[in-house]
Amino acid sequence: MAEERRLRVVLAMPVYPPYHTGAGRRFLRYAPRLRALGVELEVLSATPTLARLEASQLEPAMDPTAGLRDGRLGEWLEETVIEGQRVRRVRLSSTASRSRAASFTYAVTRLALKERPDVLVFSPHALDVLAGVAALKMRGIATCIAYTVNVPLSTRRLPRVAQRLVWPQVFRAADAVVCNSDGMAQSLRGFGVSRTIDVIHNGVDLDLYLPPHGVDGQSEARLALGLPPGRRIVLTVGAVSRRKGTEVLLEAFLRVAAQVPDVDLYLVGPSADGSAEKTPDARTFAREVKALLEHPALSDRVRVVGPREDVSTWMRAADVFAFASEVEGLPNAVLEAFASGLPVVSTTFDGLDETGGALGQPGRTFLLTPRDASALGVGLTRLLGDSVYAAQLARTAREWVVDHHGLSVAVEAYAALFRRISQKLAAGR
């Protein structure tokens, strides 16, 4: 049997590591395994916005675009290598806007038409992608849209009408559409997208995210992180933002702190003070979080750690994982907590299947509460006070991830998807 030829796939993602991005970090983990399956992944990205740069909190030596962000817009910078992955970035405006998104799609499309990869994967899904997809298809280049951020249907009439008119056209034009949860697929159908949608659940590195070996393993993790002994830890991983529910979690922990004296809360992930954001809401949110962090009951019991590369160690050091996001696809942080043997309490979020979906079954793999501070506080207090139930949740959740969310399962599904659409387009020429 003839060996399959190697496939050249280009991922167009405006935000990519080392700048903070969950989807980008996920594809970075997939790349070596895709390569082993004959799929060479290349990345086209962009210089960061000021807000993204602020949130990522990179040292200058770790910033691949330091000193290169000023210059002619639309120019491609020299290729860099991020953890073995080749990345090229186009210089764009430092302010997020619709014109910036359009400029990214235009630059990517022009380069792809010149270099002709087998498949081009767009992670943005705005209207400007439509022209890029059409141009690439005319030249025999397969296209895929990866819907990586679950965007709820707008509550405002005009934006809602625009979503329902425009989005079906954008998604219909591509050769494939992929998202990471059934809830996200359902939200797309709510926009009027009636085509086939591939659902590939996120994969977790089960060799990296492991439960600690008993009390000694947890103690070793805490020692490595310099954490004080004799305290229990509630952990959350994700950006400090309104979408991630930071203020809900802090208000919930305010209630927990009054009842459980030996527990602290650690927030691992990028944090922004709002200075790089133009929106009044961003500045208001920053003030709300600052006030909560300075509350006398929280000031010495909550730590904002910032972005970390050793998230798996933090998972092994913690006692309970908390998740309060407003809207998600399939939250990788929750899956990683499952894999790490952590009991998880999560609030409901837009994108979560009523039965738990890819996260398993509420009450068996995780504790689910309504999305309000009081209910979340009760859930946290329950897991901190009932070690038997917490251990049962953690054990069942670990088994669930091992059975359903191994890294190889996701990577093999992506490799098969890329080959399928490439071969289908070639057969139709």
pLDDT tens for 3-26 read: 678 999 999 999 999 998 889 999
pLDDT value at 1 more than 50: no
- Structure tokens that stand for 183 in this block: 């809830």
CA separation for the pair 99, 128 (Å, rounded): 9
The model's pTM: 0.92
**CATH class for the region spanning 7-203+407-427:** alpha beta
**pLDDT of 98:** 81
Rounded-to-integer distance, Cα 425 and Cα 141, Å: 8
DSSP secondary structure of 49-66? PHHHHHHHT--GGG-TTT
Helix (H/G/I), strand (E/B), else coil: 188? helix
pLDDT grade for 428, boundaries at 50, 70 and 90: low
3-class state of residue 113 by DSSP: helix
**302 within 8 A of 293, measured Cβ to Cβ:** yes
> At residue 371, does pLDDT exceed 90?
yes
- Euclidean distance between CA atoms 273 and 277, whole angstroms: 9
Q: Which of 203, 265, 204 is nearest to 240 (CA)?
A: 265
Per-residue pLDDT reduced to its tens digit, 100-138: 989 999 999 999 999 999 999 999 766 678 888 989 988
Q: What is the pLDDT of residues 146-166, one digit of tens each?
A: 998 887 777 888 878 877 888
Q: How far apart are CA 325 and CA 345, in angstroms?
A: 11
Distance (Å, rounded) from C-alpha 52 to C-alpha 40? Answer: 28
Q: Which of 180-194, 242-256, 264-278 tops mean pLDDT?
A: 242-256
Q: Give CA–CA dist 17/27, Å, rounded.
A: 10
Q: What is the pLDDT of residue 342?
A: 98
Query: Is a pLDDT exceeding 90 seen at residue 413?
Result: yes
SS3 per-residue string spanning 305-334:
EECCCCHHHHHHHCCEEEECCCECCCCHHH
Fold agreement between 7-203+407-427 and 214-404: yes
- The answer to whether residues 376 and 325 touch, using CB atoms and an 8 Å cutoff, is no
Q: Which residue(s) pair with 386 in the sheet?
A: none
The DSSP-derived string for 250-311 is HHHHHHHHHH-TTEEEEEES----STT---HHHHHHHHHHHHHHTSTTTTTTEEEEE--S-H
Confidence of residue 356 (pLDDT cuts 50, 70, 90): confident
Report residue 248 as tokens.
Answer: 């809900």
Spatial distance between the Cα atoms of 356 and 343, rounded to a whole number of angstroms: 15
Tell me which residue has tokens 């830890």.
Answer: 233
Find the Cα–Cα–Cα–Cα dihedral 126, 128, 132, 134, rounded to 10°: 90
CATH superfamily, domain 214-404, is: Glycogen Phosphorylase B; (3.40.50.2000)
Q: Is 213 exposed, middle or buried (0-12, 13-18, 19+ CB in 10 A)?
A: exposed
Q: Which pLDDT belongs to residue 7?
A: 97
- At residue 256, the pLDDT reads 98
Pairing mode, strands 39-46 and 85-90: parallel
Q: What are the domain boundaries of the chain?
A: 7-203+407-427, 214-404
Mean pLDDT across the stretch 160-180? 88
Nearest to 163 by CA among 187, 142, 143: 187
- Give the tokens for residue 126: 């705005």
Nearest to 82 by CA among 118, 41, 34: 41
